[in-house]
Structure 1
């Protein structure tokens, strides 16, 4: 049996059923519903051939060509679904909710599955998620110079039940020249938007939402323009952390990192550091003087950049919290109880 539902209903149902994206591998790689499994009805080449026939000969010859491709795959498609789930209720979508998802939903329904399709397909899901990011939220920003422990505090807030979105986790990047170290490849821009849209949607509109202060770009990923503006106008809790503690935090984060990766990152910022400081940084790295290296990078690279961005915020939106140790849970508890205008 196959059934049709709206995008909001489908996004709720996906939490309790496996979802199959029946588009081509290339379409899936560019962006998909997080958690979906690629079950391509056509390969990239097959879809290309069908498109050419559609353009040159019309719809019906294209459909017949599609049937030529699909016929031998029907058993394999069902087997692939059976291999990944014991559920008999599944979700299926394609680009516009048209023939591809209809065909796979029919096949699975014929076998005995209840197959939910979504009105308008992936295109409508994308439109919904992008629109969701335009919805207002009472946002709070955790700010502070590099090494202040912003990410650790964000995670502690989450553990305390506070709504948070970790943009760096979604982007697979810590947001600096060193941000890609020990991270998996970044998602595509489209996939990042999907992840962010679902995260935005998962929190009630009235709930206070915590995010970490970020640049507009996190690695190669750009934060949605509307959300970026909301972040820039939101109240900021600025963690005022002594330089020594911040250096300790950086050493904890990067001290076990492969030296060649650190060297590569230092060389990426050599124009901003200047020749003398780049040479000194590489020398400190070679001698395993990580704390001194952290101090150098904070003073010559990180702090000037962060201070410049902070100075462009309205002063009345910045609320300083003095931090004297590395007890991130204690800091999170303090932030949780803050009342900000």
Structure 2
């Protein structure tokens, strides 16, 4: 039972991944599948850090050592008491230092073949960045575009259900990519957590098959699309959904009906457009929002904001747009979306 630093490439050889960082660090991002067993909680980590800065490293280690010992004992008693002798955990902290080293030492004293991740979370983070940089440029992307209300997200979902490979960036970012794009009940992840999930998704894709993705700007809410993927997206072939305004409006009224449930919040979202619209136009839109009048509001948003924005941005950023396959549909009902996805999937 040798004790050697373990690399990211060996993650799959272990029974469990144990992240011993504080809950706040774990919530920001972590290796997929890891469990959080902090050796210092958020407050304890603050106390130790303050002591290190204001008193001395020795006093910080003395205080922290007692905290770490108590927490490790609690984890051993509450979470690992039933683990068999062949249980094999891999432990990591921020950079493969004292926190994970202490945990590994205690687990090995018990008799388990516990190992420490070399470089800790920082090594994982470097791996994520490297994987995105390597895999994104090799993707055989097909970019789905169309003005707001063209049901692009639902078409992506329908394509996935029909067996096509799909990369749903808005789902990973928990945002629909517009001023009204926040997803109810789903706060956006951190940038690091988004990139971890993106790398995980890219690893699951077959590079020999095409991958459908929605046209995105550089930012999805507060998430930034990594440059290697953004560049690949912008240079890839394009399929454009062409749907008339009345079909798009009907779709938006169904897909965003939940916005009428909190009218003051909807009105506040519109304030994000204050630099782009005349004051009287924004006042009228806020009035519609507060009254729950979604039809005139969405119609005006399409005509005055979304469609002009689409015309400016897509032509500037999508190199393949002049040669795009244009797929027309005047039916964006559930059945119409299924039919549209089938047509798109049949394209060469």
TM over 0.5: yes
- Structure 1 counterpart of 2:103: 104
Tell me if the contact between 1:133 and 1:226 (Cα under 8 Å) persists in the aligned partners.
yes
Q: 2:49 matched to 1:40? A: no
**1:285-315 CA-partner distances (Å, limit 9, x unpaired):** 3444322221111000111111111111334
Tell me the residue number matched to 2:344: 335
The DSSP-based 3-state class of the residue aligned with 1:273 is coil
Please show how residues 30-69 of structure 1 align to structure 2 within 5 Å: 30-44=28-42, 46-47=44-45, 53=52, 66-69=64-67
Residue 147 of structure 1: CA displacement? 0.8
How many angstroms apart in 2 are the aligned matches of 1:230 and 1:248? Answer: 33
Question: What is the distance in 2 between the residues matched to 1:140 and 1:161?
Answer: 15
Asked if 2 retains the 8 angstrom alpha-carbon contact of 1:3 and 1:114, the reply is: no
Contact preservation (8 Å) 2:40, 2:71: no
Indicate the residue corresponding to 1:237 in structure 2. 239
- 1:318 is matched with which residue? 324
- Structure 1 stretch displaced more, 288-297 or 114-123: 114-123
CA drift of 1:181 comes to: 4.8
Q: Which residue of 1 aligns with 2:278?
A: 274
Which residue does the alignment assign to 1:7?
8
In structure 2, the CA distance between the partners of 1:29 and 1:114, relative to structure 1 (3 Å rule), is same
Would you say the 8 A contact 1:3–1:115 is kept in 2?
no
Q: Deviations over 1:198-245 (max 9, x none)?
A: 212222333322211111111111111111111111112111111111
Unaligned runs of at least 5 residues, structure 1: none
TM-score normalised to structure 2 length: 0.84
- The residue that corresponds to 2:268 in the other structure is 264
Unaligned runs of 5+ residues in structure 2 are none
* Alignment partner, residue 123 of structure 1: 122
**Matched residue count:** 335
What is the rounded CA distance, in whole Å, between the counterparts of 2:54 and 2:277 in structure 1? 55
Structure 2 counterpart of 1:291, from 295, 307, 311: 295
Distance 1:170 1:145 in 2: 21
Q: How does 1:207-218 map to 2 (within 5 A)?
A: 207-218=209-220
Q: CA RMSD for the aligned pairs?
A: 3.0
Q: Does the alignment pair 1:77 with 2:75?
A: yes
Quote the residue 2:140 is aligned against.
138
- How many angstroms apart in 2 are the aligned matches of 1:211 and 1:284? 33
